[in-house]
Chains A and B, each alone.
Chain A
Amino acid sequence: MAIEQVLPARLARWVAAEPDWEQVYAEQLPRVLNFFRYRLVDTADVEDLTARTFEKAWRARHGYRRDVAGFATWLLMIARNVAIDHLRARERYELLDVATAVPSLDKSPEQQAVQHSDAQRLAALLATLPPRQRELIAMKYGADMTNRAIARATGLTESNVGTILHRAVEELRGRWRGTKS
């Protein structure tokens, strides 16, 4: 007879306290929104995808297991899937978006971005990163996740996350400074 067949597990789950959803919303909305800002080339869909993420999470919130992941990680895992679905659906169009939204790499980023704000410069540089690097940058600097939380959300090891992020940041930094040819 397995112990989980005795009633406590069900009752324990039933009784387990709910998070303060008002506070969760206030804390997590900027993180999810900024995750999409960093993750997507086209920022026109950022609010729509953020809303989609919260609606999915809201509907499924009773299934959230706090013993498996912190709520923020759980929410970002949903956001990540929303982003993946979105990018797949828009794959064909995104190439066009990239072409129009991101300055050509024929010129140095400094030259391209000289009249742009820092945000535009960074967006342009992010668009040049491979998808995995970009996703991790979005989690780290958009959603403000720790390397451990990113590892949990992506299935990568924490050290792998650190390595990928380090390379990506060095790449971006070099271009930002105009030192990369």
Chain B
Amino acid sequence: MSNDAWLHALRSDPSPVFNEQLRARLRTQEPVPLEAAALSRAKDRGDWFRRALIPAAAVITVALVVSVPSVRASAAQFLSLFRVVNFVPVAVDSNRLDRLQTDNLEIGALIGEHVQVVQDPGPPVTVTSVADAAAAAGMTLAVPQWLPANTAVLETAVMGERVVRVTANSQRLQQVMDALGINDLRVPAGLDGQVVNVRVPPVAMIRYGHGNRRTRLFQARTPHLTLPQSVDVQALGEIGLRILGLPAGEAKQFARALDWNTTLILPVPPAARSFRQVNINGHLGVHIEHQPPGESPTHVLLWPAGDRVFALVSIANVEDVIAMANTVR
């Protein structure tokens, strides 16, 4: 016992009765959605760059091609993605991020100068049922046919369609490449000024509760990207892979092997504990596990199916999460 043990003399465990009474009381109190939404909106500005690095968020947003988070932007924004058939996870080299930060290269801001929001649906809107969510999203919602015991639907919400237009800027991309010492590749000729249109169809969310654990299922039709045929997508893809940290030879080989029209590179943030490819009901998906400091391991499952992209985000055990994913119909 340390010399300061006497300073802990007042500490004691909560009484079991108090513990249970308070726990029971909290269980009856769900958060106030409107209050939360208001808080969320109020805080929605200012430090986007930092928040974009939140592992799960960054993973999902990139996966849905709706994010422009830091270095990943170069890979995600400039790739020709017409339909997501495959997710391919690539670990982000944290040294690359550090180097860019050292050079004050906030790529998000740089690219942001060239992003035009054509259609902004605003924040997600809570609806009263899965049927209402389906109506708002304009599609029949797929749901897990198997759920853990004592599961209830706690919330359904929909975020409307968003359309953005990104104008490519060769100079910015070259700056990033220079900062990262990527000297053996060149920005494809004719890229500058080319316009990439990104359309992200409505995203529906169903939040399930199993006791105090939560699992959320997100689904949307595949995002659409259009860009001029003249753009060398493979060359851009190789640059993107190098920016993420792949060695030169590997990036070149990888870039040649991938079908860039159907493959979504999924940058896995350094904070992720693990990631692997998984088979979800016959489709190749990705399972990422990360654990924010002081919190439980969180599982993120992403998979495409037909014309849709699904994501399950959960703190339940991984077997349950995969079982749910496998029965989403």
Contacts and interface: CB of A to CB of B under 8 A. Distances in A.
B315 A38 contact: no
Interface string A49-70: 0110011001111110111001
Interface string B243-259: 00000000000000000
B117 A5 contact: yes
A172 interface: yes
A7 B120 contact: yes
A8 B69 contact: yes
B312 to A, nearest CB: 11
B14 A33 contact: yes
Q: Interface extent on B, as a size class?
A: 35 or more
A176 to B, nearest CB: 6
B149 interface: no
A24 B295 contact: yes
Interface stretch (A15-23, A78-86, A87-95, A156-164): A15-23
Given A55-B25, A58-B31, A59-B32, A4 B44 contact: yes
Contacts, number: 215
The secondary structure that dominates the B interface is mixed
Interface string A138-181: 00011000000000000000000000000001001000100000
The secondary structure that dominates the A interface is helix
Given A14-B124, A59-B31, A8 B10 contact: no
Contacts of B15: 47
A146 to B, nearest CB: 12
A10 B159 contact: yes
10 smallest CB-CB distances across A and B, nearest first, come from A3-B112, A62-B36, A63-B39, A20-B296, A8-B67, A12-B57, A4-B48, A17-B298, A118-B9, A22-B212
7 contacts: A3-B68, A12-B54, A19-B292, A23-B295, A59-B35, A62-B33, A66-B54
Given A7-B66, A12-B60, 19 more contacts: A1-B113, A3-B48, A3-B115, A5-B120, A7-B159, A7-B164, A8-B67, A9-B44, A9-B51, A11-B159, A12-B52, A12-B67, A13-B44, A20-B213, A23-B295, A25-B212, A119-B9, A141-B4, A142-B11
Interface of A: 1-25, 27, 29-30, 33-34, 37-38, 47, 50-51, 54-55, 58-63, 65-67, 70-72, 117-119, 121-123, 126, 137, 141-142, 169, 172, 176
